[in-house]
Structure 1
Amino acid sequence: MIRRIVRELGEWRRARRDYRVLCDEGRAAHLEVSIRIHSEDYEWTGLDGITGVRTTVPLTRAGKRYVRGIVRDIEKTCVRAVLIANRKAKEGA
């Protein structure tokens, strides 16, 4: 039982290493990514700034980092909208 688990873990590690080599050769799998604020989320859909992106990225560390960056950028747009709303509310009070 333990030997099988150790063998499978070693096989998994070798496969990950082989995949990284394929990535380095430019042969990584590619993901078609479409990230945006949901169209029925009316409170957030009309914001100025980045509210969505559609792109294709390689399934590599850099590609995953890029997708995380998209999510951060959309979040920044939402936070900026809240900041502006808070300032307007403060001015009106």
Structure 2
Amino acid sequence: MEISRKDYEQPAEMLKALGHPVRLCITKGLISKGRCNVSYMEECLEVSQSAISQHLSKLRNAGIVKGYRTGNEVYYEVISEHAKKIVNSLFEEETI
């Protein structure tokens, strides 16, 4: 089976989205904690709410996270198994 250049586009977009330290941190935090809202992320990351929202937008567009509305709050979680594998491998504890 031959792989075309198009087969690399979606994985490359995911890697680009994860390539920013704040987006990587958001993704890792959501994997570790599960669903949480922007206010919680703002406290943990010490980044403005608008900046977090912009990063979440890029993660949503890359198919990495999804938002779920509960009343007035939107809670986010990682929905991409590929992203979970990538992030977990980056922060895997080394065994001696």
Same fold (TM over 0.5): no
Higher alpha-carbon Rg: 1
Higher relative contact order (CA 8 A, sep 6+): 2
The alignment's TM-score, normalised by the length of structure 2, stands at 0.22
**What TM-score results when the alignment is normalised by the length of structure 1?**
0.23
